[in-house]
Amino acid sequence: MEKLFTLLDHNFDEMVAIRRHLHEYPELSFEEVETPAYIAAFHRALGHDVREQVGERGVVATLRGGKPGKTVALRADFDALAIQEENEIPYKSKIDGKMHACGHDGHTATLLGLAKALNAIKDEITGSVVFIHQHAEEIAPGGAKPMIEDGCLDGVDVIFGTHLWAPTPIGDLLVRDGAIMAAADKVEITIQGKGGHGAEPHHSIDAVVLASQFVVNAQQLISRRIDPLKSAVLTLGHFEAINPFNVIADRVVLAGTVRTFDEQVRQQMEDELESVLKATCQPFGASYNYRYTRGYPPVYNHVEDTAFIAQLANDVPGVENVITCPPFMIGEDFGYYLEKVPGTFFFTGAKKPEWEEAYPHHHARFDFDERAMLIAAKTLGKATLQYLQKNK
């Protein structure tokens, strides 16, 4: 293991250079062209078996060890976000309106640096390592599902993944078995009333008033319909009625998200949201259009593999604390992989010690401590070698 750690230390400067290059040239979900080409070329130079356009834009590279054995998959995403970067840094995004504001550039650099280190000792490895470089994590339906359908998990025995996490101090590793991240669904609603003069509401059906009532009424599903020992979040973040100030709106468009862990709760929210909408509109003669789109499933970590990571991480250089974290209501399509094969997903702290508070993920000034990439690579690398050795 010390040999791997030494190789990763040696590769760290290259990992930083890769991350900064990718940061300068971000590509959005389902628009990735140069990034997957860069990744494929890197793996080919190492002599790995490479498949491109997996699930449309993904890359899968396979390292085969000196002896046959089990197969470990490691996954990193590589898409960016439609955000104008506000950081003044030497490697600031060169593409207007696009930015790596979630750390996916770091995830990719971590996996490439680890691939190079493992390749240097491949003759000592019993088994294979599959590097899954996934496109389009940020936007449902995401890249994981089509990549799985295209065979990226064929022959895989276990999968590990991590997310560099800027709100958590560097040196901390966050783990949790069971549900660690929520299902992320989308709700789209149109309420159709009858427009009119602002002075004559009795001749109209005010869509703004009805939409406002619905927003408030819908929150009662969380407080009064959902089991208080279970979790759900409803956020209606879009409310649009484009009208002059003295005109009663005939139409309002709403959109939002529902986050859940439990499948029964998920179904209840989908069904009862429409019931509330119908009960709000019908008495006043308004009509509505309701669309509930299921996004990513919850991320459910397997107990044995989570305990495996938690135990080995204590002896990884740079890891100071292994913490059992609460579940997060954010979504991640890593859940699709865990529906197919055992594995676990964890968070690697990436907040710089000098920061009083980190800018959140998806913020125009997001950044992270690049040393977290080395911690993530060492943790994933140790997990890979230890798993293959234990199961040979």
> Using one digit for the tens of pLDDT, what is the confidence trace for 169-225?
999 999 999 999 999 999 999 999 999 999 999 999 999 999 999 999 999 999 999
pLDDT at 233 over 90: yes
pLDDT of res. 392: 85
Show me where the domains of the chain are located: 2-182+298-390, 185-296
pLDDT at 313 over 90: yes
pLDDT of res. 378: 98
Q: Which CATH class name applies to 2-182+298-390?
A: alpha beta
> Using one digit for the tens of pLDDT, what is the confidence trace for 351-374?
999 999 999 999 999 999 999 999
**Structure-token match 């529902």, residue found:** 258
What is the rounded average pLDDT of the residues 12-33?
A: 98
> Using one digit for the tens of pLDDT, what is the confidence trace for 147-164?
999 999 999 999 999 999
The CATH number of 185-296 is 3.30.70.360
Residues designated as active site: 79, 137
The reported pTM is: 0.95
CA angle 257/263/264 to nearest 5° reads: 105
State the CB neighbour count (10 A cutoff) for residue 217.
14
What is the rounded average pLDDT of the residues 332-351?
A: 98
- Name the band, by pLDDT with cuts 50, 70 and 90, for residue 78: very high
pLDDT of res. 350: 98
